Amino acid sequence: MKNTFTLAGVMGWPVAHSRSPLIHNYWIDKYKLSGAYGLFPVAPDQLRAAICGLRALGISGCNITIPHKVTAMQYADWIDPCAKRIGAINTIVVQPDGALHGYNNDGFGYMQSLIEAHPQWRADTGPAVIVGAGGAARAIVVALLDAGSTEIRIINRTRSKADEFAHKFGPAISSVDWEDRQEALAGAAILVNTTNQGMHGQPALDLDLKCLPKDALVSDAIYIPLETPLLKAAKLRGNPTVNGLGMLIHQARPAFQAWFGVLPDVDTNLYTRITATI
Ligand code: NAP
């Protein structure tokens, strides 16, 4: 008998804080589907067994989150070209023949969140400045390049990681010394914080915005809190802003479609429900 109950979840360590179950189970209810999305706390030394166990358990796939996004790639049978460029996966889809396909939807989620908040915004209107050079930065840089960005400045505390971006992603990328971060904002059309600075429990991002044009879009990948000190400072001087919640919600859409067969809409009720938990 065909199993019509679809199971998916998120693997991370720790993972209890994840809002992904809220998002996917909301859509399961909304579209009256038969299935469930759960939390899979998987310690690093169990990652291989957990991923290989997906097909044996009849699970449709999973999201992959911190700290597994890079390591998980080696256990997939096929990696989407965009995820290869990013160098990490955040989604696994088990194929009908049992093969494990890896994707990274973080950059897609990021671009969709910008378009949702500011439909007129275009990537080719001016330089982008990215603070941070970790996994989120890689996904966002790939998405911005694909959307038409021709100049991206990477500012990172550890300069060598910003230099790696320039080497990996080509001439549109330049790396900026941490000490020069304030001046690097001159003429920018968009500023993106991809560090953990400003996250609940962390100090604010140490960045003075005085050189940033007043019409530059300021976005933060962080969604706890929804308004980081960076976004608050940007709003006060009149810059348009976007927080990280839209990125989280929108990255979930293609994965949901792959597992449950429906491309879900993002509605205000979903934002309200998640916001209530933050
Ligand atoms: P990651 O790979 O660990 O990168 C962290 C970055 O933060 C690195 O560039 C690191 O710089 C920088 N950093 C850490 N402490 C710093 C400090 N004290 N001062 C300056 N820079 C510092 O992490 P990630 O996966 O890219 O995630 C980064 C952020 O994005 C997190 O807040 C995460 O929650 C968020 N995120 C959001 C979404 C979403 O859906 N909204 C998705 C993914 C990630 P060094 O290289 O110098 O260490």
- Under 8 Å between Cβ of 11 and 64: yes
Give tens-digit pLDDT for 237-252: 999 999 999 999 999 9
* Mean confidence (pLDDT) of the chain: 97
Please say if the pLDDT value at position 3 is more than 80. Answer: no
The closest-lying atom of ligand 1 relative to the alpha carbon of residue 198 is 32
Q: What percent of the chain has pLDDT over 70?
A: 99
16 CA from centroid of ligand 1 (Å): 19
pLDDT score of 214 = 98
Give tens-digit pLDDT for 190-207: 999 999 999 999 999 999
- Under 8 Å between Cβ of 50 and 42: yes
Alpha helices in 91-154 (DSSP H): 106-117, 135-146
2 catalytically annotated: no
136 CA from centroid of ligand 1 (Å): 7
Q: What percent of the chain has pLDDT over 90?
A: 98
20 C-beta closer than 6 A to ligand 1? no
- Under 8 Å between Cβ of 173 and 150: no
Distance, CA of 142 to CA of 85 (rounded, Å): 7
Candidates 2, 30, 32, 69; catalytic one: 69
Collapsing DSSP to helix, strand or coil, 167 comes out as helix
pTM for this prediction: 0.96
193 CA from centroid of ligand 1 (Å): 8
Please say if the pLDDT value at position 221 is more than 90. Answer: yes
158 C-beta closer than 6 A to ligand 1? yes
Please say if the pLDDT value at position 1 is more than 60. Answer: no
**Best mutation site among 196, 197, 206 for ligand 1, i.e. most ligand atoms within 8 A of its Cβ?**
196
Would you state the structure tokens that stand for residue 57, as one six-digit string? 């358990």
> 10 Å Cβ neighbour count for 23?
26
Please say if the pLDDT value at position 155 is more than 60. Answer: yes
Distance, CA of 21 to CA of 36 (rounded, Å): 8
Confidence of residue 4 (pLDDT cuts 50, 70, 90): confident
Q: In the predicted model, what is the mean pLDDT of residues 137-156?
A: 98
Q: In the predicted model, what is the mean pLDDT of residues 174-183?
A: 98
Distance, CA of 2 to CA of 248 (rounded, Å): 32
Would you state the structure tokens that stand for residue 146, as one six-digit string? 């694909």
136 C-beta closer than 6 A to ligand 1? yes
pLDDT score of 61 = 98
* Sign of the Cα pseudo-torsion (239, 190, 192, 63, in order): positive
- Which of the two residues, 154 and 2, has the higher pLDDT score? 154
222 C-beta closer than 6 A to ligand 1? yes
